[in-house]
Structure 1
Amino acid sequence: MSHLPRLKIASGWFLVAPFLGLLVALYFGPILNILWLSFTDPVPGIGNYLQLVTSDSLLRIVWTTLRICLITTFFSVMIGYCIAYAMVHAHARQQNIMLLLLLISFWISVLVRTFSWLMLLGDNGLLNNTLATMNVISEPIHFVRNELGVLIGMIHYMVPYAVLPLLANMQGLDARIFQASRNLGASGAQTFCRVYLPLTKPGIVAASLLVFILSLGFYVTPAILGGGKVLMTAEYISVQLLVTLKWGTAAMLAALTLFCVMALLWIMSRFMKLSTAFGGSA
């Protein structure tokens, strides 16, 4: 009788094995091909990776990507922290409404959001026309086709992703700790700074890493709101594949991004469950 559970587990693996093999072939096959191209195209060696220290244009693109991702992460987590804090301390009905609005934002395409910002912030957009009508400005303010427009679009898209891990972290805190702090004479500000904020550090770290990881792969928003003046890694990879046909350089940047994402996901797993970061149960 003791062998029955083992037989059930073994038969379960036999059923899953074909689909698992197909998944490995379809997923890891292209990744291995990208890694192979990064070392063999156009000639075998590490020439593609040496461009990271020899090519000024490539260094500038990588630095632009990191700078925009860091700024996006900072403001997204800061805004997301405020939203998550408000949701945790709201009444149940209000919390459900806020959560519904948060989930609705995930259903809106990034392309729709980007074009909406373009209509709002363009030189002939709603904001500039309104300011001109009120005689606040005499010439349009260039909100888009620059780094500012890219940051606005990316932060708007990333805020909901920052809210999820922060909300999961805050909901798991014991409210009696904060009540004890107040009973011991601490003010509201002292309780927040010395008790609440340190307890939410895992959520802050997880939200920061999640937003930064997702920001690394942004393509549509920088391409449209940047107007070709703000070139990030994803768009540069597209140019290398479709225009200059430098597959080795594109594969090297893709591999570099992949390694960076895997390292950041490992770091995030040290602070909280990865499923929690995507809205799963804590």
Structure 2
Amino acid sequence: MTTTLIATRAPARGRRARRAGAGERIAFLTPATVLLGLAFLAPLALLLPQSLTDGSGFSVGAYDRLFSQPVYADVIGNTARIAGLTAMFSLLAGYPLALWISRLGARWKIVAIVAVVLPFWVSILVRTYSWTVLLGKEGIVNVALLRLGVISEPLSLLYTDLGVLIGTVNLLAPFLILPLLATMSGIDSRIGQAAQSLGASPFQAFWRVYFPQTVPTVVSTMFLVFVLGFGFYITPAILGGGRVQMLPTVLANLINTTPDWALASAISVVLLSGAGLIGLVGKLVTRRTT
């Protein structure tokens, strides 16, 4: 009888414990959820109504101007191109670097990781302005190239797409390097040795055995860098000098200079929708590669 009583009380205690645990989780999450809703979700919810109104009431004129005027189509295309190139060059520079760091000893690996993370301790504004010193006509890059005899006159690197691309790659590449490094550090190095012992060349062992295990991280981080580049403002505004038009800089001009709140809201809705769509595509692609 005692055994039966204990057996019947055990599930009841388990349910009470689960309810208590759920209550604690709700209590912890509620403040953060309320703060997120008021500070982030509520302003975003106001974008759509703002983009569908003008001085007289409901109107889709902002979207009509956005998609009918060639200047905005050019800006969207230029933004997507620079964001795509940023993701591509971040991968080309970041993958070998992450691979090299993952193969270092424990002590030097810590040093290398600190070197990658260290720029995050400096303001983006300061890091961006430092590139104006490096890329100017009398900057370090041009002076070095002139002294080496590579060029005969200073290159125009500032206020060009190339200057913006260099700055965005420098700022966003760590978002690709660090997740890749975490993935690579978890891959057993012996699988490459096993593949080579079965007759594979070092390249085949890397390309057919090692690289496929990093593909999901490569895909997801490239989409992340693309989305971040699509909405980047500070670097295009400073290194572009107003000559490189991207959606965030146009958006800032519409808010601070014109102002045209309906069109600015329409651009924000397009940016938000595009980021969400890109994130969804990235998630689907990542699932297929796993």
TM-score (norm 2): 0.86
Matched with 2:262 is 248
Worse-superposed segment, 24-33 or 132-141: 132-141
Q: 2:106 aligns with which of 80, 85, 92?
A: 92
Consecutive unaligned residues of structure 1, counting only runs of 5 or more, are: 274-282
Q: Distance in 2 between matches of 1:167 and 1:12?
A: 32
Separation in structure 1 between the aligned mates of residue 148 and residue 21 of structure 2, nearest angstrom: 74
Gap regions ≥5 residues in structure 2 = 1-12
Instruction: Write the letter of the residue equivalent to 1:121.
Output: L
| Partner amino acid, structure 1, of 2:43 | P
Matched with 1:213 is: 227
Q: Partner of 1:110 in structure 2?
A: 124
Does 2:41 align with 1:28? yes
Please give the alpha-carbon distance, in whole angstroms, between the structure 1 residues aligned to 2:196 and 2:159. 49
Task: Give the CA deviation at 1:175.
Answer: 2.7
Q: Deviations over 1:65-106 (max 9, x none)?
A: 000001111000111101110011111111111111111021
Contact 1:121 1:127 in 2 (8 A): yes
Q: Which amino acid aligns with 1:149?
A: G
SS for the counterpart of 1:231 is: coil
Tell me, in whole angstroms, the C-alpha distance in 2 between the residues paired with 1:19 and 1:86: 39
1:259 aligns with 2:273: yes
Q: Which residue of 1 aligns with 2:4?
A: none
Structure 1 position 169, deviation (Å) = 2.1
- TM-score, normalisation: structure 1: 0.88
Query: Equivalent pairs: percent with the same residue?
Result: 35
- Asked if 1:4 corresponds to 2:55, the answer is no
SS at match of 2:81: helix
Q: Work out the CA distance in 1 between the residues paired with 2:108 and 2:226.
A: 29
Describe the SS at the equivalent of 2:58. coil
**1:110-135 deviation per Cα after TM superposition (whole angstroms, max 9, x unaligned):** 21121111111101212223444555
Comparing 40-49 with 200-209, which one deviates more in the overlay? Answer: 40-49
Q: Rg bigger for which structure?
A: 2
Deviations 1:30-80 (A, max 9, x none): 011112111223552333223343110000100010000011110001111
In the alignment, is the contact (CA less than 8 A) between 1:118 and 1:225 conserved in 2? Answer: yes
- Identify which range, 129-138 or 159-168, moves more after superposition: 129-138
What is the number of residues matched between the two proteins?
A: 273
Work out whether residues 66 and 263 of structure 2, in 8 Å CA contact, stay in contact via their aligned partners in 1. Answer: no
Structure 1 residues 22 and 81: CA distance shift in structure 2, 3 A: closer
Instruction: Name the Cα RMSD after superposition.
Output: 2.2
Q: 1:26 to 1:115 in 2, by over 3 A?
A: closer
